[in-house]
Amino acid sequence: MVTKQPRLADVARAAGVSTATASMALNETGGRRIGPETRERVRAAAAELGYRPNTVARGLRTRRTQMIGFVGDDVATTPFAGQMIRGAHDAAREAGFLLLMVDTSGDKDETAEAIGALQERQIDGIVLATMYHQVVEVPDAIGSTPCVLLDARTADGSASSVVPDERGGTLGVLAELTGAGHVRIGHVTTREEVQARAVRLATWRERVSDCGVDPEPLLVEVEDATTQLGYEGALELLSRPDRPTAVFCFNDRMAMGVYRAAAELGLSIPHDLSVVSYDDQELIAPALHPGLTSAALPHYEMGRWAVVELLRRLDDPEAAPVQHLMPCPVARRHSVAKPQ
Amino acid sequence: MVTKQPRLADVARAAGVSTATASMALNETGGRRIGPETRERVRAAAAELGYRPNTVARGLRTRRTQMIGFVGDDVATTPFAGQMIRGAHDAAREAGFLLLMVDTSGDKDETAEAIGALQERQIDGIVLATMYHQVVEVPDAIGSTPCVLLDARTADGSASSVVPDERGGTLGVLAELTGAGHVRIGHVTTREEVQARAVRLATWRERVSDCGVDPEPLLVEVEDATTQLGYEGALELLSRPDRPTAVFCFNDRMAMGVYRAAAELGLSIPHDLSVVSYDDQELIAPALHPGLTSAALPHYEMGRWAVVELLRRLDDPEAAPVQHLMPCPVARRHSVAKPQ
DNA sequence: CTTCATAGGTTAATCGATTAACCAACATAC
DNA sequence: GTATGTTGGTTAATCGATTAACCTATGAAG
């Protein structure tokens, strides 16, 4: 058995001062009340004993726990979540905070329960992460706990939030195609009602129309955003008269299906068909052959931003909420070429 | 501004009892000392006021925070991590615990720092997760904090740990092949020095030898476990005289390369070549065509197990440490057929 | 020679629970 | 009628920090 953890009182005794002095010396608080030589003596004693403050006791007194709650719906089941968590984690750690995680199935009651569990532990603030960028309401359970939305936003802008700039990302990958000379650009997408779908679709429509091309004959919609349905959709699209010279896919998984369809139809990418996509998933986009050009979802940066913003609100509770759009940089690879 | 959170004293006053009675009534502690009618009165008052205990204050007194530290090296950068975290999270939550996460780059000092940060927050125990199953030493910084290793183990078995049963999983996917009648089974693997490689390789060698076949001419090793090198390795292997009728790949990413090599050589999977693999990554194995038969790494179950074991050790600090092997079930898909 | 700052501390209250030790009232046993 | 439980509580100490309020020399000012 190791000897018990030393308390502040032990440090104070070893340095021959009171606990008040020890506390002020170690925390640089209390103004210039502590003499430099005393401060050094306390520091030395603390180091000698291997003193680590008990943040539970400190938190009780200061009403600050240096912990941030991170609640996500289905955090772990989506491959993106990791990057969001890591971004939030890194920003928190740099400021001396730790992340207390709760995962919910997205259910309302469960979310309220999770928030309650975090509040009982007196977290200083909460990051509410929703996978797949949606418009949500801040749950009542939040009460007056400072809170930032991650990959989601409120309709009325009453809370700070950060979401990816889907429109910008779409324009980015489409520019890769138009820049190479494509105008007949197809789109294969899902029918699922997610924000991402709507924005990517609308932006594509607009951009293709701008090129003087009617987008409707170049559109394929399937049930879900799976590889299999991406394959089936592409097979259909590429068999139409006046086949597009390039395809913009809703996401990388569908793009993977498009690759297969192209191969089966004897179309070589990028020579006969250029392909761009969205999400830039590390297991897919660089692994396909040729490497897939894709707009990246900036999950790491969004996670960071959310925590930095939360910390700002902790410092200044009066600060006005901010809605942030995070750019989606294009990962340029080898799936785009000039049309024949 | 919302009115301040009610304290236990407020509940006690509302119910007309002392805080001691209120505490015992709400916590069912103190034996049968509290009358049923009083207990009900206290409960009602608590519900009325919306009382939530301050676990920081409670933790200071009880020396229990109901929080578990989860430290992982590169938690978020690996696609597996999510499932491990979720498994640990779910088991913790069911027991009323929350997970305090720290991610490190695997660096020794950083890990020690992380453990220190968790200990300052008085976590009740620590799950130490290493990605990619390795033999490690428990860091000194752990001290006497209860601790369980996740996807890693110690050489001497001094700490509880759980790792995947790589040998069992390998035997499982190989049985898919031998069961279909294959004996000339190739293996394409990486040269990286990870435990997984060694076990999968040895088990394959043994099994192929058992079939009366010399494994060495059927082995290809490449620098890293990437799709590109899997492709190159397979191209070489499949061009050898006496080509194997089936291939066991180190992981799904390499298998993805093997699929491409087979396609280029005009070999149809599974008709001309059967393929099995390891990891069962959801973004790859089901998305390939035909679906890839692969041994799944039971990350969710391992995460759960680690926390359940940790809770057991919290209850009984004298309990002997346990080393657990978690089975790797085979996800059977369509990449295996009889040899021609 | 008083009076007042100032530097450098110390004392004690406090955060919000839990819990050991104590107490009053009433019933039961002998 | 006195000892002995039992029931149903209460009082007060405690966990380990932080911090407001207070104290004591010492030097400078008037």
B121, B231, B254, B280: best to mutate for the A interface, most A CBs within 10 A: B121
| Domain A166-297: CATH class, spelled out | alpha beta
Query: What pLDDT, on a 0 to 100 scale, did the predictor assign at position B1?
Result: 43
Mean pLDDT of A128-137: 83
Check if residue A35 sits with its Cβ under 7 angstroms from strand D.
no
| Domain A67-164+300-326: CATH class, spelled out | alpha beta
**3-class SS at B287?**
coil
The answer to whether B3 faces chain A, any CB pair under 8 Å, is no
At A1, list the tokens. Answer: 């058995």
Angle at B90 between CA B85 and CA B93, to 5 degrees: 120
Query: What pLDDT, on a 0 to 100 scale, did the predictor assign at position A1?
Result: 43
Mean pLDDT of A77-94: 88
- The nt closest to B30 (CA vs C1′) is C19
Strand C nucleotides in reach of protein CB atoms, 7 A cut-off:
7-12, 14-21
The answer to whether A154 faces chain B, any CB pair under 8 Å, is no
Query: What pLDDT, on a 0 to 100 scale, did the predictor assign at position A302?
Result: 97
Q: Which residue has the higher pLDDT, A265 or A131?
A: A265
Q: Which residue has the higher pLDDT, A2 or B292?
A: B292
Query: What pLDDT, on a 0 to 100 scale, did the predictor assign at position B319?
Result: 93
Percent of chain A residues topping a pLDDT of 70:
97
Q: Are strands B330-331 and B293-296 parallel, antiparallel or unpaired?
A: antiparallel
Check if residue A4 sits with its Cβ under 7 angstroms from strand C.
no
Chain A residue with minimum CA distance to B318: A1
Mean pLDDT of B145-166: 95
Could you tell me where the beta strands, DSSP code E, fall in chain A? 67-73, 98-104, 125-135, 147-153, 160-164, 185-190, 219-222, 246-249, 274-279, 293-296, 323-326, 330-331
Which CATH code fits A8-53? 1.10.260.40
Query: What pLDDT, on a 0 to 100 scale, did the predictor assign at position A109?
Result: 92
Contact A281 B284 (CB under 8 A): no
Chain B residue with minimum CA distance to A123: B56
Query: What pLDDT, on a 0 to 100 scale, did the predictor assign at position B231?
Result: 97
Contact B76 A89 (CB under 8 A): yes
Angle at B320 between CA B316 and CA B326, to 5 degrees: 105
Mean pLDDT of A155-169: 96
Chain A (104-123) residues lying within 8 Å, Cβ to Cβ, of chain B: 116-122
Chain B residue with minimum CA distance to A283: B283
Confidence class of residue A75 from pLDDT cuts 50, 70 and 90? Answer: low
* Homologous superfamily in CATH for domain B67-163+300-327: Response regulator (3.40.50.2300)
The answer to whether B143 faces chain A, any CB pair under 8 Å, is yes
User: Can you give the C-alpha Rg of chain A in angstroms?
Assistant: 27
User: pLDDT tens-digit profile of B201-212?
Assistant: 999 999 999 999
Query: What pLDDT, on a 0 to 100 scale, did the predictor assign at position B4?
Result: 78
Chain B residue with minimum CA distance to A318: B1
User: pLDDT tens-digit profile of B164-181?
Assistant: 999 999 999 999 999 999
Model pTM score: 0.93
Q: Which of B86, B119, B287 sits opposite A103 (nearest CB)?
A: B86
CB pairs under 8 A between A and B: 142
Q: Report the alpha-carbon distance of residue A217 to residue A185 in Å, rounded.
A: 10
Residue A292 has pLDDT above 90, yes or no: yes
Check if residue A57 sits with its Cβ under 7 angstroms from strand D.
yes
Percent of chain B residues topping a pLDDT of 90:
86
As separate numbers, helices (DSSP H) first and strands (DSSP E) second, chain B gives 11, 12
Q: Which of B121, B256, B289 sits opposite A55 (nearest CB)?
A: B121
Query: What pLDDT, on a 0 to 100 scale, did the predictor assign at position A198?
Result: 96
The answer to whether B253 faces chain A, any CB pair under 8 Å, is yes
B26, B90, B101: best to mutate for the A interface, most A CBs within 10 A: B101
Length A144 CA → C17 C1' (Å): 23
Length A22 CA → D16 C1' (Å): 13
User: pLDDT tens-digit profile of B65-111?
Assistant: 999 999 998 765 677 788 899 999 999 999 999 999 999 988 889 99
Distance from the Cα of B209 to chain A's closest Cα (Å) equals 33
Percent of chain A residues topping a pLDDT of 90:
86
Check if residue B121 sits with its Cβ under 7 angstroms from strand D.
no
State the span(s) of chain A assigned CATH 1.10.260.40: 8-53
State the span(s) of chain A assigned CATH 3.40.50.2300: 67-164+300-326, 166-297
User: pLDDT tens-digit profile of A245-255?
Assistant: 999 999 999 99
Query: What pLDDT, on a 0 to 100 scale, did the predictor assign at position A76?
Result: 57
Residue A20 has pLDDT above 70, yes or no: yes
Query: What pLDDT, on a 0 to 100 scale, did the predictor assign at position B75?
Result: 63
Q: Which of A273, A290, A303, A272 is nearest to A331 (CA)?
A: A290
Average pLDDT of every residue of chain A: 94
The answer to whether A140 faces chain B, any CB pair under 8 Å, is no
Residue B274 has pLDDT above 70, yes or no: yes
Residues forming beta bridges with residue B149, ordered by sequence position: B128, B161
Contact B223, B191 (CB under 8 A): yes
Contact A85 B75 (CB under 8 A): yes
Mean pLDDT of B118-145: 91
- The nt closest to A4 (CA vs C1′) is D16
Q: Residue B53, preceding bond cis, omega within 30 degrees? A: no
Which CATH code fits B166-296? 3.40.50.2300
Edge-to-edge strands, sheet with B219-222: B219-222, B185-190, B246-249, B274-279, B293-296, B330-331
Query: What pLDDT, on a 0 to 100 scale, did the predictor assign at position A300?
Result: 95
State the span(s) of chain B assigned CATH 3.40.50.2300: 67-163+300-327, 166-296
Average pLDDT of every residue of chain B: 94
Length B214 CA → D30 C1' (Å): 107
User: pLDDT tens-digit profile of A309-339?
Assistant: 999 999 998 999 999 999 999 999 999 999 9
Residue A30 has pLDDT above 80, yes or no: no
Which residue is nearest to the C1' sugar atom of D13, using CA? B61
Query: What pLDDT, on a 0 to 100 scale, did the predictor assign at position A32?
Result: 67
Residues of B whose CB is below 8 A from A285: none
Confidence class of residue A28 from pLDDT cuts 50, 70 and 90? Answer: confident
At A78, list the tokens. Answer: 């989506």
Contact B85 A75 (CB under 8 A): yes
Mean pLDDT of B137-149: 94
Mean pLDDT of B236-254: 96
The answer to whether A284 faces chain B, any CB pair under 8 Å, is yes
Query: What pLDDT, on a 0 to 100 scale, did the predictor assign at position B79?
Result: 72
Angle at A113 between CA A155 and CA A161, to 5 degrees: 25
Q: Which residue has the higher pLDDT, B160 or A5?
A: B160
Query: What pLDDT, on a 0 to 100 scale, did the predictor assign at position B3?
Result: 65
